Chains A and B, each alone.
Chain A
Amino acid sequence: MNSVIRVEDVKKDYFVGLKVTKVEALKGVSFEIPLGSVTCFLGPNGSGKSTFIKIATDLVRPTSGKVHFFDTLTYSQARARIGFVPEKPTFPGFLTPLELLGFVGAISKGFKKDKIVETLQAVDLYYAKDRPCGGFSKGMNQRLALAQALLSEPDLLILDEPFNGLDPDSRLNSVEILKSYAKQGKSIFLTSHLLEDVQKVCDFLVVIKEGNVLYKGDVQSLLKTTTFTLDYKSSSTGEMLSLKAQESDLNTTLKSLLEQGHRIWNLRPDNQELTDIYKMLLEGKHAVSGS
């Protein structure tokens, strides 16, 4: 088994109004996520992230294309091995976490009752186990959503914006939970806007814009493809100047500067954050086209 998710040319068209306007939410998305990876699906608002998550979890039917799990399985065949957290998780307000997880467990295959307490402790919600979840904060709701997804110990977690609306403490807590889950060799596929958190937890990245994949590959190789800052002394004015160059253009830029008689003073790699690279990818200024 090699891939945890394999996406083959998935397209989704929506029709607005009386089928007059066609909106192409996904324009033939293809990628493969390796087993055991923590993957982030990045993209600006309206890029098709949520549509893809809903297609992957069988909530929305694709216009064409297929999504396979664990190499060959459809979502229906693999659902017992997948845990899902929707974008805005809501629960019946009259239920306590213990009751809710009891119901979730009752409709999950291979569920063991003693897992409920263990899972609530893992997401730091055991203290509120007997409180009706109608009065929960957004952070507590998000942790409860994570608990229900983790309950059946799935091999793959799919999370739609798991850090959205969380305070820094809860975000940190969620990142730690996901990290420890990933350490067990399980796979995670998540969408998020919070690149700082993404950089902490993800090792694989898929960037999407206007329904097209811009990048698919591991985060480290993306961060390695840095830009450089060149400091040089101008041959005409004698003042110190600097410019930025992509790794791929570095030789050409250096040659050109030397030919013009400038004196190279310093050459240093920039410490890039995922935020910078993501911005460049969206603007089409990044040299990496993806694997």
Chain B
Amino acid sequence: MLSQVLSLSHLTFMGLSHKKIYFVGLSIGTLLTLLSLILGPLGFEEEKRLSINFGLAGAQVGAIFLAVLSGATLLKEELENQSAFIFLSKDITRSQYLLSKFLGFVFSLLITLGILSGFFYVTSFLTGLEWTLKILIPFAGIFIEALVLFTFAMLISLVTSSLLTTGLSFCFFLITHWVQTLEYLIKENANAYLKTVGPFISWVVPNLEGLNWKSHLTYGEWESINFYFLSSAYGLCWVIVFLGTSIVVFNNKDLS
């Protein structure tokens, strides 16, 4: 079973690496990361910090772009052009098929972020950042955030068009980064009803701001290992929720 899933993941990875969106995502990320070299000096005293922040933001934009567009089109296109039917008629269940799509994307994302982190390190090194393994921590946050968005987009693509999925996923991305602010505003509000509901919002909508660790590297203000572990587990729980729901929907869907 595992070897079948891995074979299809390999195929998904190859398919993604032949798609234009993959190169567009990678190019956007690379371009923005390299742009930090030009924008850094505009920060006067904060040249190093601005370069780091902008470089990480570039990598995040590239990864998010890739996650949303891949999630919105990967399964949808294969169902529409019937290429999925060829594989689904073989000794593989729908759940395994969906899982292989997810794993294929994970491989693509790892390579994308690997390349972007390489560019980031080179540009940051030029602006005076010293090498430390901690550089990879913000990239881990971006990785988990992209996984949440990919699984969300894949779920939505099972019930609506690719275009609508893309739009909804970008809205979802914005909302998930606003949850923390919303929780704060509710906490400060006098309304008793809102105060009761407030703490549960991040149980209904993922709080992806909790995975935004860019400022930790920018300002050198690191959290405890426990914090990164719990935040990662929180993000991965949302990945499991969206992936699990996708599997349930896909298993019960008429593929016509």
Contact = CB atoms under 8 A, between A and B. Distances in A.
Nearest to B82: A86
Interface stretch (A29-37, A90-98, A247-255, A265-273): A90-98
Interface stretch (B1-9, B47-55, B118-126): B1-9
Contact of A107 (B81, B83, B90, B255): B90
Interface in B222-256: 252, 254-256
Interface stretch (A3-11, A57-65, A168-176, A217-225): A57-65
Nearest to A12: B254
Contacts, number: 76
B196 to A, nearest CB: 35
A90 B82 contact: yes
Interface string B66-104: 000000000000000111011111111100000000000
A94 B85 contact: no
Interface-centre pick from A57, A58, A87, A107 (highest chain B CB count, 10 A): A107
A86 to B, nearest CB: 4
A258 interface: no
A44 interface: no
Contacts of B88: 58-59
Contacts of A51: 256
A198 interface: no
Nearest to B77: A90
A261 interface: no
Given A54-B256, A60-B254, A107 B85 contact: no
B89 A57 contact: yes
Nearest to A152: B90
B4 A107 contact: yes
A91 B86 contact: yes
A123 to B, nearest CB: 15
B14 interface: yes
A82 B89 contact: yes
Interface string A55-90: 001111100000000000000100110111011111
A25 to B, nearest CB: 10
B14 A86 contact: no
B18 interface: yes
A145 B86 contact: yes
B15 interface: yes
A106 interface: yes
Contacts of B205: none
Nearest to B5: A107
B3 A80 contact: no
Given A59-B254, A60-B254, A61-B254, A92 B11 contact: yes
Contacts of B11: 92, 103
A145 B93 CA distance: 20
Contacts of A79: 89-91
A104 interface: yes
Given A59-B254, A60-B256, A61-B254, A86 B91 contact: no
A107 B256 contact: no
A52 B213 CA distance: 53
A156 to B, nearest CB: 12
Interface in B14-48: 14-15, 18
Nearest to A55: B254
A88 B256 CA distance: 12
Contacts of B256: 50-51, 54, 59-60
A84 B85 contact: yes
B12 to A, nearest CB: 10
A86 B87 contact: no
A53 to B, nearest CB: 10
Contacts of B4: 106-107
Nearest to A102: B7
Nearest to A25: B256
Contacts of A92: 11, 14-15, 18, 83
A22 interface: no
Contact of A87 (B10, B82, B92, B255): B82
17 contacts: A54-B256, A79-B91, A84-B86, A87-B82, A90-B81, A91-B83, A91-B86, A92-B11, A92-B14, A92-B83, A94-B15, A103-B7, A104-B87, A106-B4, A106-B7, A108-B91, A145-B86
Interface of A: 50-51, 54, 57-61, 76, 79-80, 82-84, 86-95, 103-104, 106-109, 145, 148, 152
Interface of B: 3-4, 7-8, 10-11, 14-15, 18, 81-83, 85-93, 252, 254-256
Given A54-B255, A103-B11, 16 more contacts: A54-B254, A57-B85, A57-B89, A60-B255, A61-B254, A80-B91, A84-B89, A86-B85, A89-B83, A90-B83, A104-B86, A104-B90, A106-B3, A107-B87, A107-B91, A148-B86
